[in-house]
Chains A and B, each alone.
Chain A
Amino acid sequence: MRTLDVRGEICPYPMMKTVEVLRQTPLEEAAVLEVLTDHPPALESIPLYVSTMGYRCTIDDVGGGTWRIRITRAGC
C-alpha cells in the first residue's frame, strides 16, 4: 500500500498530485493508494477524475478536517 500526503495543499493540487502518482505508476490488481487530504473539494474531484482512469474510491473521515481516500482498481 502506498500513501500520498497532500495535507495543506491549495486547490487543485491535491487532485493533480493524486492523478500524477496514478499516471506514473498505475495500481496493480488489489493494490491500494491512500491519499491523506484536508481539502474538502478533493473529496468530490478525486473520485470523479480517477473513475475515468478505471479506479474507485472509499473515503474515511479521520476527524479534524482530514480525510483518507482509498483508491483501488474498479472491480477489485
Chain B
Amino acid sequence: MNGRREPPVVSLAAGAIAALGATLVAGVLWAHAAPGDPRTGVFWAFGVALGFVLQRSRFCFASAFRDLFLFGSGRIMRGILAGLAVASAGFALLMWRMVPDPTLGMVAPEAHAVPLGLHLVLGGILFGVGMVLAGGCVSGSLYRIGEGYVASAVALMGILAGLGAGAHTWNFWWRASIARSPVVWLPAAGGYVGGLAVTFALLAVAYVLVVWRETRAGLPAAPSPVAPGPAAGSSLAAPSGAGLLDRLAVALAAVLVRGWSPTAGGVALGVLNVWLYLAHMPWGVTGELSRWAIGVLEIAGVGPGPLQGAGTLSGCALVGTRGPWISHALTLDVGMVAGAFAGALLAGEFRIRRPAERRRYVQALAGGLLMGYGASLAMGCTIGAFFSAIPSLALNGWVFAAALALGARVGVSVIRRIA
C-alpha cells in the first residue's frame, strides 16, 4: 500500500475526537434550527457518514465511468457494482415489506422508479459529459469541497445554475417526453424475485464487461503494490511483539489514515443507502439542490413558475415547492461536505487546492452546468438516478447508467483536447 507517515496514536485520537465532536455539535445545533423535524439530526448523521466514506475510499462515480474509457481501469466501477448488489437486496426487502404484492400496479413508496424515455437518455449523456469535464459528479463535488478543492465549489455553482435552467425548460420536457413515458419497475412484471434475478444478472454482466475492459487494457489483475518511498516513516504494520496501544494505533490508522479499497467504500455506501431508505428515503442529492436553486431564482424574481407534474414523481425530480430553507435533505447534503472535511482532516489530507490554470475554472463551471441540466432531465444524478435507482429495481437506473457511460466516453475525448 502507500507509504504514509504514521501519526502518533495520541495526537491521532485527540484529533479524531475533536473533529468528530465538533462535527456532531454543529449538527445538533443545526438540527435545532429546524424545530419539529427530528429527521434533520438523523439525516445530518447520514450525510456525515456518507461524506466520510466517500473521502476515505476516494470514491468517485465520475472516475468510475471515465477511467473505463480513459485507460481501461474498472477499479472503482467494481466497487460500485458491489455496493449496488448489497443495496439491491436490501431495497428489495424494504419494498416487499411496504408493497407485498408488486404486481397490483402500485410502485413501492419512495422507490426511484421514474418515467423512462428520451429525456432520461439525453439527461444521462449531458450529465456524463459534464462530470468528466468538471472532474467529479455532484456527490463528488460536494465531498471534494470538504477536502478543499476550489474548482469543485465552482462546479457546484454550475450545477445549481444548470438545475435552475432545467427548471425553466421543465414544462417543455414534461409535455414532450416525461408525461408520455412509462415507468418500468421490474417487480411489477416478475415480482421481487424476478426483479432481483434480472438485477443480479445485469450486475454480473456489467462485472464481466468491466473485467474484459481491464484485460484488454493490459492492466495488472491485482493492483501492483506500491512501496513506501525512502522518506516514509515507520510502516503501517505493527511489528510482532508490539503492545496493545501500538496495535490499536495501526488499526485506527488503517481506517483513518490509509485510503480504503473501492470495494470497502462501495459496500459501505450500499449499506448506508439501505439504512437511509429504512429511515425515510433512498440516497439522493440533487432534489434538494434544485429546491435551493429554484428558491434563489424566485427571490430574484426570475422563478420558473409552476412545474407541471414534478410533484407527482419520485426519485430526485425538481422540487419547486417552497418549504423551510433548512430541511433534512439539506442537512444530508451539507453533512456530506462536513464528513469529507472530517475524513480529510484526520488523514492529514485537507488542503486548499487551486488549479494553476484559469481555464480549469471555466471547465468546472461548464461541467457543472451540463450536470445540473442533465440531472433536471433525468430526475437525479449518479446517486438518485443510478446508485438508488438500480437497487429500486427500476429499469430507468440501467438506462441512465448506459447514457452516463456514453456521455463519459464523449467527455474523455473532450478533456484529451483541453490538456
Query: What residues on A are CB-neighbors of B66 within 8 Å?
Result: 12
| Nearest A residue to B233, CB-CB | A61
Interface set of B (CB-CB < 8 Å, partner A) = 2-5, 58, 60, 62-63, 66-67, 70-71, 73, 75, 134-136, 147-149, 151-152, 217-220, 223-224, 226-232, 259, 344, 348-351, 353-356, 360, 363-364, 415-416, 419
B214: shortest Cβ distance to chain A, in Å?
10
Query: What residues on B are CB-neighbors of A64 within 8 Å?
Result: 348, 351
Residues A8 and B230 in contact, CB atoms below 8 Å apart: no
A56 to B223, alpha carbons, bound, how many Å? 12
B163: shortest Cβ distance to chain A, in Å?
21
Q: Mark A12-37, 1 if CB is under 8 A from B, else 0.
A: 11011101100000000000000000
Say yes or no: A48-B75 contact (C-beta < 8 A), given A10-B151, A59-B228: yes
A41 to B4, alpha carbons, bound, how many Å? 15
Partner of B2, one of A16, A38, A49, A59: A59
A45 to B71, alpha carbons, bound, how many Å? 9
B241: shortest Cβ distance to chain A, in Å?
26
| Nearest B residue to A52, CB-CB | B218
Partner of A52, one of B3, B217, B259, B415: B217
Residues B228 and A48 in contact, CB atoms below 8 Å apart: no
A74: shortest Cβ distance to chain B, in Å?
9
Q: Is A63 located at the chain interface by the 8 A CB criterion?
A: yes
A49: shortest Cβ distance to chain B, in Å?
5
A16 to B355, alpha carbons, bound, how many Å? 15
Query: What would 11 A/B residue contacts be, using CB atoms closer than 8 Å?
Result: A8-B356, A10-B136, A10-B364, A40-B58, A43-B259, A45-B63, A48-B219, A48-B224, A52-B218, A61-B5, A65-B353
Residues A47 and B259 in contact, CB atoms below 8 Å apart: no
Query: What residues on B are CB-neighbors of A47 within 8 Å?
Result: 223-224, 226
Partner of A44, one of B135, B231, B259: B259
| Nearest A residue to B154, CB-CB | A10
A64: shortest Cβ distance to chain B, in Å?
6
Q: How large is the interface on A (under 10, 10 to 19, 20 to 34, 35 or more residues)?
A: 35 or more
Query: What residues on B are CB-neighbors of A62 within 8 Å?
Result: 231
Residues B75 and A44 in contact, CB atoms below 8 Å apart: yes
| Nearest B residue to A57, CB-CB | B226
| Nearest B residue to A50, CB-CB | B224
Query: What residues on B are CB-neighbors of A44 within 8 Å?
Result: 58, 75, 223, 259
A66 to B147, alpha carbons, bound, how many Å? 12
Partner of A38, one of B134, B231, B353, B360: B353
| Nearest A residue to B412, CB-CB | A12
Residues A65 and B349 in contact, CB atoms below 8 Å apart: yes
Residues B4 and A61 in contact, CB atoms below 8 Å apart: yes
Residues A45 and B231 in contact, CB atoms below 8 Å apart: no
Residues A61 and B63 in contact, CB atoms below 8 Å apart: no
Query: What residues on B are CB-neighbors of A10 within 8 Å?
Result: 134-136, 149, 151-152, 355, 360, 363-364
Query: What residues on B are CB-neighbors of A68 within 8 Å?
Result: 229, 231
Partner of A58, one of B75, B230, B415, B419: B230
Q: Is A51 located at the chain interface by the 8 A CB criterion?
A: yes
Query: What residues on B are CB-neighbors of A16 within 8 Å?
Result: 70, 415-416, 419
| Nearest B residue to A7, CB-CB | B353
A20 to B323, alpha carbons, bound, how many Å? 50
Residues B73 and A8 in contact, CB atoms below 8 Å apart: no
A52 to B218, alpha carbons, bound, how many Å? 7
Residues B259 and A58 in contact, CB atoms below 8 Å apart: no
A49 to B217, alpha carbons, bound, how many Å? 10
Query: What residues on A are CB-neighbors of B348 within 8 Å?
Result: 61, 63-65
Residues B223 and A48 in contact, CB atoms below 8 Å apart: yes
| Nearest A residue to B59, CB-CB | A41
| Nearest A residue to B218, CB-CB | A52
Q: Apart from A13-B135, A45-B73, what are 16 other A-B pairs with CB-CB below 8 Å?
A: A7-B353, A10-B360, A15-B71, A39-B353, A44-B58, A47-B223, A48-B73, A51-B224, A59-B3, A59-B232, A60-B230, A60-B232, A61-B3, A65-B350, A67-B2, A68-B231
Say yes or no: A11-B60 contact (C-beta < 8 A), given A48-B219, A63-B348, A65-B349: yes
A34 to B405, alpha carbons, bound, how many Å? 33
Say yes or no: A41-B360 contact (C-beta < 8 A), given A63-B348, A65-B349: no
A7 to B354, alpha carbons, bound, how many Å? 8
